[in-house]
Structure 1
Amino acid sequence: MAPRQPEPQFAWAEEDTPLTDNQRLDMRAQERTLDGAMWRTAVGSLTAGLVIFKSFSSDLYRIGLVMLGLSLCITLTGLVRKATTPLRIHEHLHYRSAGNFVAFLAVVGTATSLTVVYMLSII
């Protein structure tokens, strides 16, 4: 029995070679992580920053700015990851986790949390 060939309709848009079943599975996992977690978190941080701007006094505007900065970092990280997904799919045979992106976002999130706690302590 001959090995199953990938179907052409599942080829990546920028590439001529069709994706295998494993590559499609990896691509869906990366897109699910990007679309699910990163965009939800970015929108949540953006909403929190805007609520702080609209609802509270001018003393807390800086905290709103920090939340907007967090939202911007998450959005930019998501865009970079989205742009590099086709390269990862075609270069690696196995699923590669987003370890570097997660580490970067962990550092940004920790810095944001510490900054907000510090700002609340000096008010």
Structure 2
Amino acid sequence: MGPRHHRLYRGHRAKSLNITEEELVEIRGAERTFDGAYWRTALKAFSMGMIIIRLFTNTFYKIGIIFVVFGMALLGISILRRKAAGDVFDQRKPFETSGFWVMITTFVTTVTYLIMFVMIMKL
């Protein structure tokens, strides 16, 4: 028995694609990464910043703003990473790991938490 094919519809033109089960797993993995992890983390950081700004005194405003900026930075990284990924099924492109994006995310996160640590120590 051959690989199972699924019919997907893209956009309003109802253009269909026949994809294998392995390709469907790859699509789901990319969606969990791009639309899941990055967006959830960005939304949580942004929300935490807004909560801090709304609930705490002026002393904590800078920390809230740092969280908001951090959330926006993660959202930007997510959008840029999604654009850079391109078509996962394009066989002409060599496979690339996401090490560059992991390094950028690590750098942004480390800088953000170092800034917050310094701000908290000054309170």
TM-score (norm 1): 0.75
Q: Mind listing any 5+ residue stretches in structure 1 that lack a counterpart?
A: none
> Partner of 2:58 in structure 1?
58
When residues 27 and 97 of structure 1 are mapped into structure 2, their CA distance, relative to the original with a 3 A threshold, is: farther
Task: Quote the Cα distance in structure 1 between the aligned partners of 2:99 and 2:9.
Answer: 26
**One-letter amino acid matched to 2:42:** A
Structure 2: give runs of 5+ residues left out of the alignment: none
* Identity level (%): 22
CA offset digits 1:41-79 (Å, max 9, x no partner): 011101110011011111211111111111001101111
How many Å separate the matches in 1 of 2:122 and 2:31? 41
> Structure 1 CA distance, aligned partners of 2:68 and 2:56?
15
**Residue 23 of structure 1 contacts residue 93 of structure 1 at CA under 8 Å; is this kept in 2?**
no
Instruction: State the superposition RMSD in angstroms.
Output: 2.9
Residue in 2 aligned with 1:79? 79
Determine if the alignment matches structure 1 residue 27 to structure 2 residue 27.
yes
How far apart, CA to CA, are the structure 2 residues paired with 1:85 and 1:114?
A: 30
Structure 2-normalised TM-score?
A: 0.75
1:45–1:71 CA contact under 8 A, matched in 2: yes
Higher relative contact order (CA 8 A, sep 6+): 1
Q: Which runs of 4+ in 1 moved over 4 A?
A: 10-13
Query: Is 1:68–2:84 an aligned residue pair?
Result: no
For 1:116, the aligned partner's letter is: M
- Alignment map for 1:1-123 (pairs within 5 Å): 9-10=7-8, 21=20, 22-90=22-90, 91-92=92-93, 94=95, 96-123=96-123
For the residues of structure 2 that align with 1:86 and 1:19, how far apart are their CA atoms?
Answer: 19
